[in-house]
């Protein structure tokens, strides 16, 4: 999970490489010297390995868990890291992850696999991905909180598998400056913590406009978000939340949904109804196509973003690799250096997605794949806008080109109908993952495409850029008094036993991040 120098497989797959006492003393000395007595004073926060930590932490390389960047030292810190340090936080270390954030189980790493604290029958469980290292570091109390990145569920899925809270804000609220890109239009910095109040406090500190990030929402849009939600937030506080209308997507009852997760979902909904909330069935028909669209769009963006890693301009060659030795021996210049470098530097999953993306962007496939996937993405966004009571603040008359006339008329007719207005909801509640975490051995025996189905419930919110949070709820027969095991020693000695919770996902309209966090806290309070 955490490793100041993520070079050994053991540290990255089993435990946190302990924060050296001298480094702790130096960090505290700097905090006192600079008078940084902020709200995060002295709190240890871990950073996913695809977020730059900069020259203030020279021992923390930013490798994105890839051999292509195994010695990369970023010349600057990501804006989110700078904000943490300015508010008194201590950067504990870098967390292991899937290479460049591509994966659902944190097994595709040059530093070795991440192992969940939970075990089943003596076999380690998947920690989820791609922010699995951050999730395990938080779950095992190796840090107060951690930052991850979420492209299609990479914060929420690990949170569900590890029994903690994972929050993905609305796209554009948190700066992406200093993040090693996977898919620009979906990458979002997220927060992992042990409870919702901690996630909220960290989110509020990081929710700032950043002029360095072209995707950061400008102050004018942020002001519109604040004004649009000012009245709603006062009416939907935790203490006055009985009027909330909760959408239950009927399209999320898929064949892949396992019985334990389904029972936890139904029990959570029933308890919310008992507390006075209103349950409203909603229809999101594009859900079944969302996953396919995501695995066209995300690889397409990745193939473009990763083209720069050629071993010449970006990345470093392995000195003892065959390609380096051949390049040294081949003085004629006939060898294609970058192809050998990319073949050896990238892992199998990254190469698979680069090939998928390159094909989707090719002239022969562009219309049949990439363009169609973009159309499905618009339909997914329209589905959400149709069921939420709050209008999407980004959809002004001039902000988006209208859909095709027939689709626009259909959406308008449905949205203006009395039945549609009565069925509008404040939030949606769904499972975070269709199943409990599988064992690592089972994942390794799966077809690579089979693991993609783990993202079926998280991808739609990512395609639409909506805020969502995963909150753990106990499984049937697990008393809350037993709690989540908190002993790091037990984790080091072989694990905590089987998982005791399932993740429930709350999704809100764009900009309704505070309402999503409040509903997450309500679910947390039911236990």
Helix axes 322-329, 337-345, angle to 10 degrees: 170
Give the single-character DSSP code of 483. -
CB-based contacts of 379: which residues, under 8 Å, 6+ apart? 286, 289, 407
Relative to beta strand 165-168, strand 245-249 is: unpaired
Q: In whole angstroms, give the CA distance from residue 175 to residue 192.
A: 16
Q: How far apart are CA 188 and CA 175, in angstroms?
A: 8
Q: Is residue 325 helix, strand or coil?
A: helix
Q: Cβ contacts of residue 84 below 8 Å, gap of 6+?
A: 40, 45, 91, 147, 205, 206
> What residue has token string 């998928």?
356
Instruction: For residue 471, list its beta bridge partners.
Output: 504
- Hey, what are 390's tokens? 């709050």
Contact, 117 vs 140, CB < 8 A?
yes
- CA 74/CA 57 separation, integer angstroms: 10
Beta bridge partners of 502: 473
Tokens at 160, concatenated:
């569900």
How far apart, in Å, are the Cα atoms of 379 and each of 69, 372, 420? Answer: 37, 11, 17
Catalytic residues: 48, 130, 154
Alpha helices in 96-163 (DSSP H): 132-139, 156-162
Count Cβ atoms below 10 Å from residue 376 Cβ, excluding itself. Answer: 19
**Strand runs labelled E in 354-485:** 427-431, 468-474
- Buried-exposed string 492-505: b where 16+ CB fall within 10 A, e elsewhere: eeebbeebbbbbbb
């Amino acid at each position: 999970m955490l490793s100041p120098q993520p070079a050994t497989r053991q540290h990255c797959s089993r435990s946190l490489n302990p924060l050296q006492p001298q480094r702790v003393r130096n960090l505290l000395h700097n905090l006192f010297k600079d008078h940084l007595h902020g709200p995060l004073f002295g709190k240890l926060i871990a950073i996913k390995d695809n977020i730059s930590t900069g020259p203030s932490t020279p021992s923390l390389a930013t490798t994105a868990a890839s051999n292509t960047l195994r010695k990369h030292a970023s010349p600057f810190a990501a804006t989110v890291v700078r904000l943490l340090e300015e508010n008194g936080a201590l950067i504990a270390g870098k967390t292991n992850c899937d290479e460049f954030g591509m994966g659902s189980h944190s097994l595709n790493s040059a530093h070795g696999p991440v192992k969940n604290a939970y075990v089943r029958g003596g076999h380690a469980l998947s920690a989820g991905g791609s922010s699995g290292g951050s999730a395990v570091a938080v779950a095992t109390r190796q840090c107060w909180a951690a930052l991850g990145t979420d492209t299609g569920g990479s914060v929420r899925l690990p949170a569900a598998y590890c029994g903690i809270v994972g929050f993905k804000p609305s796209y554009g609220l948190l700066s992406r400056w200093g993040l090693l890109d996977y898919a620009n239009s979906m990458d979002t910095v997220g927060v992992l913590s042990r409870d919702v109040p901690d996630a909220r406090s960290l989110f509020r500190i990081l929710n700032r406009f950043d002029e360095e990030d072209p995707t950061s929402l400008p102050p004018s849009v942020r002001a519109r978000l604040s004004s649009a939600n000012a009245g709603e937030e006062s009416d939907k506080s935790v203490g006055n939340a009985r009027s909330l209308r909760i959408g239950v997507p009927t399209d999320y009852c898929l064949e892949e949904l396992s019985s334990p997760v389904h029972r936890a979902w139904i029990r959570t909904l029933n308890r919310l109804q008992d507390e006075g909330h209103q349950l409203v069935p909603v229809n999101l028909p594009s859900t079944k196509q969302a996953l396919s669209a995501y695995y066209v769009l995300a690889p397409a963006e990745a193939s473009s973003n990763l083209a720069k890693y050629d071993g010449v301009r970006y990345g470093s060659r392995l000195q003892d690799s065959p390609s380096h030795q051949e390049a040294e021996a081949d003085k004629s210049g006939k060898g294609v250096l970058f192809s050998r470098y990319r073949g050896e530097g990238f892992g199998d999953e990254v190469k698979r997605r680069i090939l998928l993306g390159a094909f989707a962007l090719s002239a022969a496939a562009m219309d049949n794949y990439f363009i169609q996937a973009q159309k499905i993405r618009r339909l997914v966004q329209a589905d959400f806008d149709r069921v939420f009571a709050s209008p999407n603040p980004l959809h002004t008359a001039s902000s988006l080109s209208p859909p095709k006339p027939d689709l626009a008329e259909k959406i308008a007719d449905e949205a203006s109908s009395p039945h549609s207005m009565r069925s509008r909801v404040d939030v949606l509640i769904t499972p975070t993952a269709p199943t409990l975490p599988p064992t690592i051995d089972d994942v390794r025996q799966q077809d690579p495409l089979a693991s993609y189905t783990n993202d079926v419930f998280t991808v739609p919110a990512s395609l639409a850029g909506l805020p969502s949070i995963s909150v753990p709820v106990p499984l049937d027969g697990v008393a809350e008094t037993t709690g989540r095991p908190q002993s790091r020693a037990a984790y080091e000695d072989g694990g905590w036993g089987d998982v005791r919770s399932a993740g429930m996902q709350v999704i809100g309209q764009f900009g309704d991040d505070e309402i999503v966090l409040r509903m997450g806290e309500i679910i947390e309070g039911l236990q």
